[in-house]
Amino acid sequence: MIVDSALYRDGVRVAGGGDPPDYATLRAGVRRPGDFVWLGLHSPSADELAEVADAFGLHPLAVEDAVHAHQRPKLELYGESLFLVLKTLWYVDDTDQVETGEVNVFVGADFVVTVRHGAGSALEPARLALEADPRLAAQGPSAVVHAVADRVVDGYLGVVAELQTDVDEVETSVFSGLRTRDSARIYTLKRELAEVRRAVQPLREPVRRLAGGQIALVDGDIEPFFRDVLDHLTRAAEDVDTMEALLSSAFEAHLAQISVQQNDDMRKISAGAALVVVPTLIAGVYGMNFRHMPELEWTLGYPFALLLMASVVAGLWVFFKRSGWL
């Protein structure tokens, strides 16, 4: 599906692509230095992307990656064109899960084609922000790549902030002293952090190349903006590492607390069993049917047995209480 298509001249949008757009006509509008086309697609079919590839001369390997999606974040050069893959992330409050999508960016000297997969991280805000700053948009396709990357990485920071809230809740629960079942949630959060890591870590090197003047298609005036994106990306990666370590520590503490709680339970069970076993022993001895037993004919034998049981139980209870077993 074609989301938007436009021709930009001196940083100002001057024409759209029509509905449906005529790709050849749209690209033919590029007549002066600085003119460029930005075409945005969402989950296109193979036939739709093939038409775009013919009009803009996209490399078939890059087109194949964009059709099938599920690619690792990467930056590849094909002749005079650039192919960038970014993972998009968004947080679902209802399920406390991180969902993923993908943005493929084809960049040439006078065009940018963005192919988006997934429901999250719409690129319309990035387009509107770029169109609101003609001076930045005048930098051409480099400015579009920055706008897309900045939008995606800002999405990472939002997801990381949501996960940080969840990690804080788990920490509070683990160290609350209550009997909680946090292992399942800790595992879920570690899995979601792994999903974020798969999007963040591989993207650091491509953005570093874009910020370091290693790509000829990137305008020198845009490189500082990519350094800002790299800074945000590094912060997100560090936050993920920190949360991973905190969850590992919380899980170990949770297991230690379970072990301590089990030991406390066993001590209490043992103490309770002792309180029952001693009077049972006395009653068992006096309940045996023998003719010749000490104090069998004694008038106070029964009260004495009961008093003995109560005294021993009381003594054991005091002892266990002082020992912390009860």
272-304 pLDDT, tens digit per residue, is: 776 677 777 767 766 655 555 666 666 666 677
Non-local CB neighbours of 32 within 8 Å, separated by 6+ positions: 9
Whether residue 149 has pLDDT greater than 90: yes
Confidence at residue 70, expressed as pLDDT on a 0 to 100 scale = 83
Same domain, 180 and 75: yes
Domain boundary among 222, 256, 290: 256
Residue burial 31-61, b: 16+ Cβ < 10 Å; e: rest: eeeebbbbbbbbbbeeebbeebbebbebbee
Are 105 and 251 found together in one domain?
yes
Q: Kindly report the CATH number assigned to the domain that includes residue 276.
A: 1.20.58.340
Q: Is the pLDDT of residue 326 over 80?
A: no
Q: What value does the mean pLDDT take over residues 62-71?
A: 87
119 and 213 fall within a common domain: yes
pLDDT for the residue numbered 207: 93
Stated pTM of the model: 0.76
In this model, does residue 74 exceed pLDDT 90? yes
> Which residues have CB under 8 Å from 172's CB, separation 6+?
none
Pair (148, 77) in one structural domain: yes
- Lookup: tokens for 164: 């940080």
Pair (222, 303) in one structural domain: no
Q: Which H or E run contains 42?
A: strand 36-42
Q: How confident is residue 238, by pLDDT bands cut at 50, 70 and 90?
A: very high
Whether residue 285 sits in one domain with residue 202: no
- Domain extent for 276: 259-323
